[in-house]
C-alpha cells in the first residue's frame, strides 16, 4: 500500500511519458546557431506525436509549444 502508482490515477506522470532533447542533438542540427528559427518534432511509428518551435536570438534560446 502506498507504492508507486497507488493513489489518484494520473497524479504523477512517469518520466518515460515526457519528450526529451539534448543540447548536443540541437547543436548537431544547427538549432543553436545565431538567428536560427524553426521547429523540432517527435514521432512514433511514422506519426508526429509532439512538436516545439525553436528560436535562437543573440543572448537567448526560446522553446514554445507548436
Backbone angles phi, psi at 24, to 5 degrees: -60, -40
Q: Report the pLDDT value the prediction gives residue 58, as an integer from 0 to 100.
A: 86
Q: Report the pLDDT value the prediction gives residue 48, as an integer from 0 to 100.
A: 94
Q: Are 42 and 48 in contact (CB under 8 A)?
A: yes
Q: Report the pLDDT value the prediction gives residue 42, as an integer from 0 to 100.
A: 93
Q: Taking the C-alpha atoms of 21, 24, 26 and 30 in order, what is their torsion angle to the nearest 10 degrees?
A: -170
Q: Are 19 and 27 in contact (CB under 8 A)?
A: no
Residues with Cβ within 8 Å of 64's Cβ and at least 6 positions away in sequence, in order, are: 52, 53, 55
Q: What is the mean pLDDT of each run of 10 residues along the chain (66 residues)?
A: 60 72 94 94 93 92 90
Amino acid at each position: 500500500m502506498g507504492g508507486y502508482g497507488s493513489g489518484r490515477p494520473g497524479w504523477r506522470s512517469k518520466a518515460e511519458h515526457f519528450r526529451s532533447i539534448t543540447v548536443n542533438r540541437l547543436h548537431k542540427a544547427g538549432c543553436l546557431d545565431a538567428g536560427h528559427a524553426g521547429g523540432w518534432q517527435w514521432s512514433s511509428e511514422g506519426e508526429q506525436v509532439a512538436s516545439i518551435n525553436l528560436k535562437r536570438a543573440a543572448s537567448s534560446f526560446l522553446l514554445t509549444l507548436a
